Structure 1
Amino acid sequence: MKYVITSKGDEKSDLLRLSMIAEFGSYGLEYDAENPEIVISIGGDGTLLAAFHEYEDKLSDTAFVGIHTGHLGFYADWRPNEAEKLVKRIAEEKYDTVKYPLLKTTVCYSSGKKETEYLALNESTIQSSGGPFVVDVIINGTQFERFRGDGLCMSTPSGTTAYNKSLGGALIHPSIKSMQLTEMASINNRVYRTISSPLIFPKHHKVSLKPVDDRDFQISVDHLSVLHRDVREIIYEISEQEIKFARFRSFPFWKRVHDSFIED
């Protein structure tokens, strides 16, 4: 079993990382940052998101597990005092894997420049670089609406608990292969109209955003935000790739929701 451990970078997380590496050494496991079979993230959900993007080209061969050194996360669900138990379970390979859907974002350019593709574990957002944000929303090749507002957010099922939730989107169980489009401050009056509700799309749907005026956009994928110029179209679809999480015990999605948002 080859493993790697990523850390948030604070003292608590770094010390726990060193302690776990020593513990793994006692089992004779190999530390391999290039081709790990399991990626252990210590910190929080943001740390695991960073680890996901670092190893997104190895998803078919890699499983992820998170330890939270702060608040309970949706991806980081182990506590520091359970690290020794986790190391033993990994060494004995006593775990199953569960797969979560990912979002594929394709940015196409008017200039003919090669398109850019991104994978998102949580969401992808698009906003204007400065002027009014106006795009045509096209669902499976048919125009649905002309959106005017601050921006749009497309999320994965597991990502619906993140920015999507703050925008008033629904929460979707990760076993449902879908993506959700939510609005950011849409303009609705006698002239402009949008649906004003989140839209949930199944696996076989494709959603395109086509600029009406401004072609420069700030596009964010999870924690990465990049300015794209001369954009012709942004295409959202559910990726054929999935992320695998190592599961050592039952921790239902709705319990995570309850513990994160309802329980004191």
Structure 2
Amino acid sequence: MKVGIYNNETTESQRVTKLLRAEIERAGLVYDDQNPDVVITIGGDGTLLSAFHHYIDQLDRLRFVGIHTGHLGFYTDWRNFEIDDLVDSLVQDSGQSVSYPLLDMRAGYSDGTVDRYVALNEATIRNITRTMVCDVYINNQLFENFRGDGLCISTPTGSTAYNKSVGGAIMDPNSVGFQLAEMASLNNRVFRTLGSPIIFGADTKLMLRLRDVNDHVMTCDREQLHLKNEKGKRYLMEISFQVSQKRISFARYRHTNFWNRVKDSFIGGGK
């Protein structure tokens, strides 16, 4: 087995990386950052997001394992004091894995060009200088006209991240679909939106057609694009979303109950 390591720059993550690499080599495993079978991330959920995009062209043949060196994360199953147990699991690996759906995102511009992205957590679109106005299409049919700060489109595993903070629902990570949540929508006797999160199935296509071409910010996970319209330059016209054909796989050596993790993270241990 070939094992790669992807870590953040904190002192603790650097310490764990050094220890883990020594244990991997002592166990007779091959350390390979370029073409690994398993990528171990050391840090938190943000580090795993960065590793996901770093290895995005190899998703069909690798699995991830997360070690958290700070606060508990939703993608990181192992603690920094469990290195020996993790290496033992790598040695005994039989290919066990669990996979989750991702989000395809296509941004279409005025010059006919299209940029493509894949999100593990979410994508967002907002206007930073004025109310964002866009037409929302579901399976090519106009559903509503949105006015507000912006929209968040999330995967099931990303539903506990930014999506939750803007009032979106938490989705079971075993479901296949995605979610649309509003950011501060305008709802009055003139302008109306549904006003609640929408969960779409596996075959749904969502399209947002922008009414204004100035000062939009689009994100895909941690990547941010400021789409400022300039004379003679291309500008963003529409963005479409659907479940990706790609999936992310984790080497799941032990079961971590998702709903227990949700409870521990957001509710705590009180009665």
Q: TM-score, normalised by structure 2?
A: 0.94
Cα RMSD for the two superposed structures: 1.2
**CA distance in 2 between partners of 1:91 and 1:235 (Å):** 42
Please tell me the residue identity of whatever aligns with 1:3.
Answer: V
Pairing of 1:1-264 with structure 2 (within 5 A): 1-94=1-94, 96-112=96-112, 114-228=113-227, 229=229, 230-264=235-269
> Shift of residue 30 of structure 1?
1.5
Per-residue CA distance 1:164-197 (angstroms, 9 max, x = gap): 1111111111111010000000001111111000
**CA distance in 1 between partners of 2:128 and 2:205 (Å):** 24
Gaps of 5+ in 2: 230-234
> Shift of residue 209 of structure 1?
0.2
Per-residue CA distance 1:124-171 (angstroms, 9 max, x = gap): 000114232000000001000000000000000010000111111111
> Shift of residue 71 of structure 1?
1.0
**CA distance in 1 between partners of 2:162 and 2:81 (Å):** 30
CA contact (8 A) 2:213 2:237 kept: no
Please tell me the residue identity of whatever aligns with 1:168.
Answer: G
**CA distance in 2 between partners of 1:211 and 1:14 (Å):** 44
**CA distance in 2 between partners of 1:175 and 1:239 (Å):** 15
Please tell me the residue identity of whatever aligns with 2:208.
Answer: L
**CA distance in 1 between partners of 2:128 and 2:71 (Å):** 33
> Bigger shift: 208-217 or 219-228?
208-217
**1:180 alignment partner, SS class:** strand
- 2:232 corresponds to which residue? none
> Shift of residue 94 of structure 1?
4.5
Per-residue CA distance 1:210-239 (angstroms, 9 max, x = gap): 011235421111111112351121001010
Q: TM-score, normalised by structure 1?
A: 0.97
**1:247 alignment partner, SS class:** coil
CA contact (8 A) 1:128 1:214 kept: no
> Bigger shift: 90-99 or 238-247?
90-99
CA contact (8 A) 1:215 1:232 kept: no
Per-residue CA distance 1:15-63 (angstroms, 9 max, x = gap): 1101110001112221111111101011100010110010011001110
Please tell me the residue identity of whatever aligns with 1:121.
Answer: L
**CA distance in 2 between partners of 1:140 and 1:95 (Å):** 37
**CA distance in 2 between partners of 1:22 and 1:83 (Å):** 11
**CA distance in 2 between partners of 1:148 and 1:254 (Å):** 34
**1:243 alignment partner, SS class:** strand
Identity among equivalent positions (%) equals 48
Equivalenced residues, count: 263
**1:99 alignment partner, SS class:** strand
Please tell me the residue identity of whatever aligns with 1:12.
Answer: E
CA contact (8 A) 1:89 1:95 kept: no
**CA distance in 2 between partners of 1:192 and 1:210 (Å):** 17
Gaps of 5+ in 1: none
